[in-house]
């Protein structure tokens, strides 16, 4: 559903956490050892996120990114599973002094699945597909900064901007390069990726096979089939019975025990970008007072909450920024759990007897449980929470559009989404001039380092200000049969690169 598809991948949450360097190394070592893989093996992947159509500018949902990003379609740049932005279909690029002109030199010898070579004209039309009037792409607004796209010759694309945008390469990693001769890509495809779409049966499965003329390294498997489930239990059963090899996301911690104690399966925890938070309406009393927000943050034991919901999985966060964003710093000490000081701060802020508010709670997991936990914790410091359960659609209308609420729970799934705090018109209405300045000016700087520095500062300010109550980062849990290796762990922005997956014989 809408909200979930772009912002709140319910359950596709996951967290960073514990994706320590050590475990990453251990995994890649394991992958390296699995020499005896079967290059013909078809990998079956279980997922709950079936695309609605095959066009990412037509409201296809997160499932299309999972299936197609980096697999069927590629961008000029790629956001790797580690969170780095790297060139993909560009060989090289230059930025003009004033930061307004990007000149991209395209990689040679890249061809589409239909056999046509990729040219600058394809890139131009691909970017314009995303920024077009009727486009429903989630990147449309970030690319609105583009003034024009020119193709002076087949190998060169020149993008002119209205204002400098240091994030352009990052944002372009979301833009599929599609053959400009392709007519309808809502049920067919023509990309440059390592796989071509073989068949899609709506409601059931989507299969793809390696593309023989792929410009890069050939996949280490003989094809991939995404099998779609509407029910998490059915999905888990499919893994247990060997009908699928991998599940891209485990929704519920209860289901994990069937896999953790079983040598036939590998349970991996990667870094997620899904943040569970209580968003206040920072425009209304008493939430317009940072002291009140800080007090509430101190009244809630996030560690106990995370433990209750996810057991040993998941990570605590001190702000909205997950560890895979470049501007992450550990801020868990800011307004850490301390109910004693919470009471004092409430008294100082003029609420010696506490106050009461309504918490609009989406009706799906984990929000209702989180709401009850918060109700109990806040009662300890004299704050009375009444829980109002709403549907995801009501959330969208009442909270997101009409901004008619006191506080709400929501999971925000996106990578690099601190920018929401720089927009005073966003639903939570956080209005801090310095944060707005840092966020908007960070786009116009000339180096990534400067951008990182400014956004790190903005990150620290929102944490000190307790702009929202950030509860925890979901764990990103991928479970596979133990003979399958080489799959991405973090699944940033729902991507699931499949070309390196290997299945032992």
Partner 1 sequence: MLGYMTRRLVILLLSLVAAAIVLFVLLRLLPGDPANALVGVGATPEQIEAARAQLGSDQSLLVQFVAYLGDLARFDLGQSFVSRAPVIEEISRRLSVTLPLTFAAFFLAMLLAIPLGIVAAVKARRWYGLVLSVVSQVGIAVPVFWLGILLVYQFSLTLRWLPSGGFPLRGYEDPGRAVQSMILPVLTIALIMTASLMRYVRSATLDVLDSDFLRTARALGESRTGALMRHGLRNAAVPVVSVLGIELSTTFLGAVVVEQVFSLPGLGSMLLLGIQQRDYPNVQGVLIVSTLLVLLVGFLADILQRVLDPRLRKEGGR
Beta strands in 363-425 (DSSP E): 384-390, 407-412
b/e for 162-201, b at 16 or more Cβ within 10 A? eebbbbbbbbbbbbbbbbbebeebeeebbbbbbbbbeebe
CA 378, CA 72: separation in Å to the nearest integer?
Answer: 48
> Residue 268 or residue 414: which is nearer to partner 1 going by CB?
414
- Which residues between 50 and 89 bind partner 1 (CB under 8 A)? 52-53, 58-59
The answer to whether 359 touches 371, Cβ cutoff 8 Å, is yes
> Residue 229 or residue 405: which is nearer to partner 1 going by CB?
229
Q: For residue 243, which phi and psi values (nearest 5 degrees)?
A: -70, -30
Residue 51 CB, nearest approach to partner 1 (Å): 9
Q: Any contact of residue 2 with partner 1 (CB under 8 A)?
A: yes
Residue 71 CB, nearest approach to partner 1 (Å): 17
Of the candidates 479, 478, 480, 484, the residue with the CA atom closest to the CA atom of residue 505: 484
Residue 328 CB, nearest approach to partner 1 (Å): 21
Of these, 56, 119, 125, 235, which contacts partner 1 (CB under 8 A)? 235
Which of these ranges, 103-111, 138-146, 374-382, 449-457, lies near partner 1 under the rule CB under 8 A? 138-146
Torsion of CA 190, 193, 195, 201, to 10 degrees: -50
Beta strands in 156-253 (DSSP E): 156-161, 195-201, 205-210, 223-228, 246-247
Q: 3-state SS of 325-361? A: CCCCCCCCCCCCCCHHHHHHHHHHCCCCCCCEEEEEE
Residue 69 CB, nearest approach to partner 1 (Å): 16
Of these, 29, 115, 212, 230, which contacts partner 1 (CB under 8 A)? 230
Length of the chain: 505
> Residue 26 or residue 234: which is nearer to partner 1 going by CB?
234
Which of these ranges, 29-37, 200-208, 302-310, 321-329, lies near partner 1 under the rule CB under 8 A? 200-208
> Residue 153 or residue 184: which is nearer to partner 1 going by CB?
184
Q: Any contact of residue 264 with partner 1 (CB under 8 A)?
A: no
Beta strands in 162-298 (DSSP E): 195-201, 205-210, 223-228, 246-247, 265-270, 275-280
Q: Any contact of residue 207 with partner 1 (CB under 8 A)?
A: yes
Which of these ranges, 78-86, 236-244, 305-313, 352-360, lies near partner 1 under the rule CB under 8 A? 236-244
> Residue 357 or residue 470: which is nearer to partner 1 going by CB?
470
Residue 349 CB, nearest approach to partner 1 (Å): 31
- Which residues between 391 and 450 bind partner 1 (CB under 8 A)? 391, 393-394, 396-397, 400
Number of residues that bind partner 1 (CB under 8 A): 46
Of the candidates 243, 237, 226, the residue with the CA atom closest to the CA atom of residue 259: 237
Q: Give 410's DSSP letter.
A: E
Beta strands in 347-483 (DSSP E): 356-362, 384-390, 407-412, 469-473, 476-481
Q: Any contact of residue 288 with partner 1 (CB under 8 A)?
A: no
Pairing mode, if any, of strands 90-95 and 101-106? antiparallel
CA 496, CA 49: separation in Å to the nearest integer?
Answer: 12
Residue 29 CB, nearest approach to partner 1 (Å): 33
Q: Any contact of residue 233 with partner 1 (CB under 8 A)?
A: yes
Of the candidates 148, 183, 369, 396, the residue with the CA atom closest to the CA atom of residue 276: 369
Of these, 114, 204, 260, 376, which contacts partner 1 (CB under 8 A)? 204
> Residue 133 or residue 217: which is nearer to partner 1 going by CB?
133
Of these, 156, 237, 358, 403, which contacts partner 1 (CB under 8 A)? 237
> Residue 408 or residue 456: which is nearer to partner 1 going by CB?
408
Per the rule left: phi > 0, alpha: psi between -120 and 50, beta: everything else, 99 is: left
Residue 436 CB, nearest approach to partner 1 (Å): 17
> Residue 96 or residue 260: which is nearer to partner 1 going by CB?
260
Give me the residues that bind partner 1 (CB under 8 A), please.
1-3, 5-8, 52-53, 58-59, 133-134, 136, 138, 140-141, 186-187, 199, 201-205, 207, 225, 227-231, 233-235, 237-238, 240-241, 243, 391, 393-394, 396-397, 400
């Amino acid at each position: 559903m809408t909200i979930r598809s772009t912002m709140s991948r319910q359950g596709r949450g996951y967290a960073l956490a514990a994706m320590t360097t050590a475990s990453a190394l251990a995994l890649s070592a394991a992958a390296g050892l699995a020499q005896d893989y079967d290059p013909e093996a078809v990998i079956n992947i279980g997922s709950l996120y079936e695309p609605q159509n095959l066009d990412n500018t037509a409201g296809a949902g997160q499932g299309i990114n999972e299936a197609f990003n980096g697999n069927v379609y590629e961008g000029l740049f790629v956001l790797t599973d580690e969170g780095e932005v790297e060139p993909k279909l560009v060989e090289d690029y230059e930025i003009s002094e004033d930061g307004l002109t990007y000149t991209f030199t395209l990689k040679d010898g890249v061809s589409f699945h239909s056999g046509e070579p990729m040219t600058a004209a394809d890139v131009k039309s691909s970017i314009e597909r995303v920024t077009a009037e009727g486009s429903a792409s989630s990147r449309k607004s970030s690319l609105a900064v583009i003034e024009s796209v020119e193709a002076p010759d087949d190998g060169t694309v020149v993008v002119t901007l209205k204002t400098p945008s240091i994030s352009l390469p990052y944002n372009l990693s979301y833009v599929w390069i599609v053959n400009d001769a392709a007519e309808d890509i809502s049920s067919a495809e023509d990309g440059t990726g390592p796989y071509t779409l073989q068949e899609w049966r709506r409601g059931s499965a989507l299969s793809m096979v390696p593309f023989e003329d792929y410009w890069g390294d050939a996949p280490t498997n003989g094809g991939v089939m995404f099998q779609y489930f509407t029910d998490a239990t059915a999905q888990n059963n499919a893994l247990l019975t060997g009908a699928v090899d991998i599940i891209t996301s485990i929704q519920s911690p209860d289901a994990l025990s069937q896999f953790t104690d079983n040598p036939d399966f590998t349970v991996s925890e990667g870094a997620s970008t899904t943040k569970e938070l209580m968003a206040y309406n920072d425009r209304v009393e008493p939430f317009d007072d940072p002291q009140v927000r800080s007090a509430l943050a101190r009244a809630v034991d996030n560690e106990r909450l995370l433990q209750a919901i996810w057991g040993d999985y998941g990570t605590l966060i001190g702000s909205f920024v997950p560890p895979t964003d470049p501007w992450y710093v550990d801020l868990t000490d800011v307004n850490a759990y301390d109910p004693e000081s919470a009471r004092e701060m409430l008294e100082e802020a003029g609420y010696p007897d506490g106050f009461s508010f309504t918490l609009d709670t989406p009706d799906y997991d984990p929000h209702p449980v989180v709401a009850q936990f918060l109700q109990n914790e806040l009662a300890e410091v004299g704050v009375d929470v009444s829980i109002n359960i709403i549907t995801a659609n009501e959330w969208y209308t009442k909270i997101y559009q009409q901004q008619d609420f006191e506080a709400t729970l929501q999971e925000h799934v996106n990578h690099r989404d601190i920018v929401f705090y720089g927009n005073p018109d966003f639903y939570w209405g956080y209005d801090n001039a310095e944060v707005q300045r840092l966020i908007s000016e960070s786009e116009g700087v000339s180096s990534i380092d400067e951008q990182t520095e400014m956004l790190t500062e903005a990150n620290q300010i929102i944490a000190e200000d307790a702009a929202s109550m950030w509860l925890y980062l979901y764990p990103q849990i991928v479970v596979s049969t133990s003979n399958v290796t080489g799959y991405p762990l973090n699944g940033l922005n729902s991507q699931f690169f499949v070309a390196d997956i290997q299945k032992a014989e």
